[in-house]
């Protein structure tokens, strides 16, 4: 049973993580375990990706993510130091001294989904690359900055356009 459990697909994982996971398993195991997803403790986001929804204040339409800062989840970035990882949009949102900034959550090293933000640094769990709140690399192995997205704010409504 232990082996079976370790082969189960993570409950919530990015396409890249799924493909990496699936590639490590036999086809029979993949077919058997196409239910649920658990990243086996590799993920630090306790909310499993902050799903969009009216209550959460996160709306995703095409390449535009709209945040209502009164929403139950989006409100986290209403104040300086606030951070959101939106898995469904592969996006990191952070409030830097009152200015909301948004970046791609896809690590520029080998494409892992970045979920951690501590001490003003985004950290990739795969190989430890770190990026500052300008998206610039402060620790490798990544060598390229995180792409930044356009943010327009009108009161409590924040519109983020992915490029």
Structure tokens at 152: 């327009």
Please list, in sequence order, all residues whose beta carbon lies within 8 angstroms of the beta carbon of residue 133, skipping any fewer than 6 positions away: 94, 96, 101, 120
- Residue 92 C-beta: closest distance to ligand FES, Å: 13
CA-nearest of 163, 138, 161, 157 to 67 is 157
Least distance from ligand FES to the Cβ atom of residue 146, Å: 10
Provide the minimum distance between the beta carbon of 123 and ligand FES in the complex, in angstroms, as a whole number: 9
Residues that bind ligand FES (CB under 6 A): 107, 109-112, 124, 126-129, 141-142
| Of residues 137 and 157, the one with the C-beta less far from ligand FES | 137
**Residue 44 or 156 having the CB closest to ligand FES:** 44
Answer for the pair 60, 23: CB distance below 8 angstroms, yes or no.
no
| Pairing of β 137-139 and β 91-96 | unpaired
Q: Report in angstroms how near the CB of residue 125 gets to ligand FES at its nearest.
A: 8
- 5 vs 42 by CB, closer to ligand FES: 42
Q: What are residue 42's phi and psi, to 5 degrees?
A: -75, -20
The nearer residue to ligand FES, 36 or 140, going by C-beta atoms, is: 140
């Amino acid at each position: 049973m232990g082996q079976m459990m370790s082969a189960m697909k993570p409950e919530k994982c990015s396409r890249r993580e799924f493909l990496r996971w699936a590639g490590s398993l036999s086809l029979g195991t993949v077919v058997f375990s196409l239910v649920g997803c658990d990243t086996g403790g590799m993920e630090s986001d306790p909310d499993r990706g902050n799903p969009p929804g009216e209550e959460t204040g996160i709306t995703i339409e095409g390449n535009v993510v709209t945040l209502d800062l009164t929403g139950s989840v989006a409100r986290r970035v209403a104040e300086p130091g606030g951070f959101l990882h939106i898995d469904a949009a592969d996006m990191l949102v952070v409030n830097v001294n009152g200015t909301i900034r948004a970046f791609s959550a896809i690590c520029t090293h080998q494409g892992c989904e970045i979920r951690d933000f501590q001490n003003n640094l985004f950290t990739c769990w795969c190989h430890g690359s770190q990026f500052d709140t300008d998206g610039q690399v402060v620790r490798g192995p990544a060598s390229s900055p995180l792409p930044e997205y356009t943010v327009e704010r009108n009161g409590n409504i924040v519109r983020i356009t992915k490029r």
